[in-house]
Amino acid sequence: MNKPDNAFMVPKPRSSDPEDLAHEIVGRLCYRVGKDPKVAKPHDWLMATILVTRDRAIEYWMQSTRATYENGDKRVYYLSLEFLIGRLMRDAISNLGILEEMREALSRLGVDFEEIAKLESDAALGNGGLGRLAACFMESMATVGVPAYGYGIRYRHGLFRQRIKDGWQLEYPETWLEHGNPWEFDRRESAYVVGFGGYVDYHEAVGEEEKFVWHPAEQVIASAYDTPIVGWRGHRVNTLRLWNAEPVAPIRLDAFNAGDHIGSLKESNRADALTRVLYPADASPSGQELRLRQEYFFSSASLQDILRRHLNQFGTLENLPDKVAIQLNDTHPAVCVAELMRILMDLHGMPFAKAWDLTRGTIAYTNHTLLPEALESWPVPLFERLLPRNMQIIYEINAHLLRTAGKEHGLDGDAIRNISLIDENGERRVRMGNLAFAGAHSINGVSALHTELMKQTVFRDLHRMYPDRINNKTNGITPRRWLMQCNPDLTRIIKDAIGDKFLDDIRVLRALEDHAEDPAFQDAFARIKRLNKDRLTELVRERMGIRLDPNALFDIHVKRIHEYKRQLLNIIEAVALFDQIRSHPEKNWVPRVKIFAGKAAPTYHNAKLIIKLANDVARVINADPSVRDVLKVLFIPNYNVSLAEMLVPAADLSEQISTAGLEASGTGNMKFALNGALTIGTLDGANVEIREQVGAENIIIFGLLAEEVAERRASGHNPRAIIEASPELSQALNAIASGVFSPDDPNRYRDLINGLYDHDWFMVASDFDSYAAAQRQVDALWSNPSDWWKKAILNTARMGWFSSDRTIREYSKDIWNVPV
């Protein structure tokens, strides 16, 4: 069959006239959705609108792909277990530059764009900051012109859908794929076999490289689904490729016909489990095994796909680092180091030294945490049983690494033990962070503070061996989604004030500084904030039946629930404030609404208890008539990207209060500040750089520094004495521990509070008085509107540096060697 000439494959430019768009939408509705416009439901119009948008994206997608092949460009492959992409329709339409035209086209058809946009499902492909960062990076790579693929897993149910019942978090499956995903394309030709278990054969050959052959006991098929990711103005469209697991044999007919109807589906169910849920609970051995299976499954499939594409185009692996850049987003895909070595050595016959050079030249690793439990490690027996050949290679890499450490760098003793890929303390475990470090030419942190702490703590001895590998790439956010799309009214008044150049270069926002003290602009800025608070107020009323006062200060704390993120500190301060307001009704208290949202890992007891405490405290405070007009507390269930797009523009105060030294970067801090919220926070993660950018006078900083936290932990500080010296803190903790907020179970929070008295690992008590004083500073500032809005405007004006476009350009120049 002759292939058509490329000249006939270039599509004609499509019209963006609203009338033409309306005709296209009706056409898709009739011929693709199969509905008469007279009886079409809102979800039908949503599908038709997505299909019209998708067709336009596909044209740019094909052009981008052809250009990459024709130019022989180097590609970036971004491997992440999470991609929290949210809803895609508004993002794609906006980036294609047809948002107003599409809105008008739908209006002519009697359809409200905003109403159907709400019906699109949030893709349940992530949990928090890690996944949202990956999504921002994918959009920015397309925007700045980096040829890229994102690789992940096509989770059917994602993390979970959170419901709150009697104040407790309950987990339910997400059903985002229940009615299909119109954005994705099934690539049946891109399917790869991934093995598990079995044994390894050794073949000794005279005069040749020894040969190892892995015989897996079990195999599954990784099948690809592609989603186009549209960059700003549609100049480039990249690919997000997600893997679905399918059985080699979907049913054992012999077993089925013999009456074992359940057992005959064992292989199908085992494959299905791989892509059901993000982060299955790993408290049990089976849970640990499933997590490791997931990580290897998507890592192996991605590497097979990458090498197939590379060999098809270039015919050799000798130039792999020149044409391929693989970025590991945290330790989840760290097994890629051993897997790429296996493919190069066992399937392509390369000696260890050659394969090691190519692997290190190709792979780079982003570290996102200093928490030991988040730097993954796997029991050696599990790893050896599930991935026997990879385990052999890890031992070989480790031997090479330790010999180099001793002979070339003179390291021994504790340094050798810290560098080793095998943790010998207690149960022997494979250290995935060390494996990623050893197998990468670049290891980057995600904020200046985090990067320096990496050098001093988790990778101290590896950094001594390889002092040039660690570098910093401070995280960023895409301003398209986190300003232009989620806050169009603010975008409009900025455009009126400084022109529209900032839409293409967000650094131009600095020009807004000249308007920070302009009373007219301050009024306009405040009106936009009030509109966004009105929208959030309506959402809360609809979902929760709670009425908020949009004139109050909206104090918002939204992120994954974890003790180091210190939602507990915020709740305790709310209790103390509650006591103060009731004790001193004569004072002129600033009306405040404290809003919490976030999910706790299903097996993280204390995090789930903190959610319950937030709801218990909210129930008591909101029912007390003495504070009803002054203080309100609420926990909004099921935090996701779409909810964030409502919360971020409505925030007056952004809570970024993690224990110093534990937050790698954070990106929520950037989103809130870009939208004119003031930050209250510790000098942790990217808060340090935000203070540098916006000015110390435009951010409220409190609490211990990272080095002070380390010193207190090392010296064995006495939290009990700290608590007893603080009457407000002591009174609040006593109220919580004694059951004031849990009369049905007075001892519910006893152990949680006792932990603060006994060790206070996350410095909640140590930072309480400083935090409470900072909140009263916020009150004083809120009472001076002119000063408040000046600071809010300056935050927006000075956040352009935190664009993920800047971050991606730095990765491209310093790590990937890709011109942009």
What token pair was written down for 135? 């999504």
Residue closest to 684 by CA, chosen among 709, 710, 698, 664: 664
Residue closest to 459 by CA, chosen among 471, 474, 447: 471
Q: Which of 481, 533, 560, 798 is catalytic?
A: 560
Query: 281-286 — which CB contacts under 8 Å span 24+ positions?
Result: 281/601, 281/602, 281/603, 282/603, 283/603, 285/382
What token pair was written down for 19? 């009338």
Q: For residues 212 and 349, give the distance between their C-alpha atoms in angstroms, rounded to a whole number.
A: 10
| Phi and psi angles of residue 435, each rounded to the nearest 5 degrees, phi first | -65, -45
**Residue 368 known to be catalytic:** yes
What token pair was written down for 67? 């250009």
CB atoms inside a 10 Å sphere around CB 560: 20
Q: β-pairing, 700-701 with 678-681?
A: parallel
| Phi and psi angles of residue 171, each rounded to the nearest 5 degrees, phi first | -110, 130
Q: Which of 368, 431, 481, 562 is catalytic?
A: 368
**Residue 565 known to be catalytic:** yes
Q: For residues 264 and 241, give the distance between their C-alpha atoms in angstroms, rounded to a whole number.
A: 31
**Residue 559 known to be catalytic:** yes
Is the separation of the CB atoms in 325 and 299 below 8 Å?
A: no
Residue closest to 793 by CA, chosen among 667, 678, 697: 678
The DSSP code sequence of 361-408 is HHEEEE-----GGGS-EEEHHHHHHH-HHHHHHHHHHHHHHHHHHHHT
Residue ranges in 185-284 assigned as alpha helix (H): 253-257, 266-274
**Residue 671 known to be catalytic:** yes
Residue closest to 524 by CA, chosen among 558, 485, 497: 497
Residue 39, classified by CB atoms within 10 Å of its CB into exposed (0-12), middle (13-18) or buried (19+), is exposed
Place of tokens 């480039």: 236
Q: For residues 622 and 159, give the distance between their C-alpha atoms in angstroms, rounded to a whole number.
A: 31
- Written in H, E and C, the secondary structure of 569-608 is HHHHHHHHHHHHHHHCCCCCCCCEEEEEECCCCCCCHHHH
Q: List CB contacts of 385: < 8 A, sequence separation 6 or more.
A: 197
Residue closest to 327 by CA, chosen among 456, 183, 205, 442: 442
Q: Which of 429, 559, 612, 791 is catalytic?
A: 559
Is the separation of the CB atoms in 579 and 731 below 8 Å?
A: yes
Residue closest to 183 by CA, chosen among 228, 233, 122: 228
Q: Which of 565, 592, 790, 798 is catalytic?
A: 565
Q: Which of 54, 161, 481, 671 is catalytic?
A: 671
The DSSP code sequence of 711-758 is HHHHHT--HHHHHHT-HHHHHHHHHHHHTTT-TTSTTTTHHHHHHHHH
Cα dist. 114→25, 42, 486, 535 in Å? 16, 11, 12, 13
Q: For residues 2 and 4, give the distance between their C-alpha atoms in angstroms, rounded to a whole number.
A: 6
Is the separation of the CB atoms in 218 and 196 below 8 Å?
A: yes
CB atoms inside a 10 Å sphere around CB 132: 26
3-state secondary structure at position 277:
coil
3-state secondary structure at position 36:
coil
The H or E element that residue 666 is part of is: none
Residue ranges in 248-334 assigned as alpha helix (H): 253-257, 266-274, 285-314, 320-323
Bridge partners, 199 (sequence order): 215
Q: Which of 451, 667, 679, 682 is catalytic?
A: 667
Q: For residues 230 and 193, give the distance between their C-alpha atoms in angstroms, rounded to a whole number.
A: 30
Bridge partners, 27 (sequence order): none
Q: Which residues have a catalytic role annotated?
A: 368, 559-560, 565, 667, 671
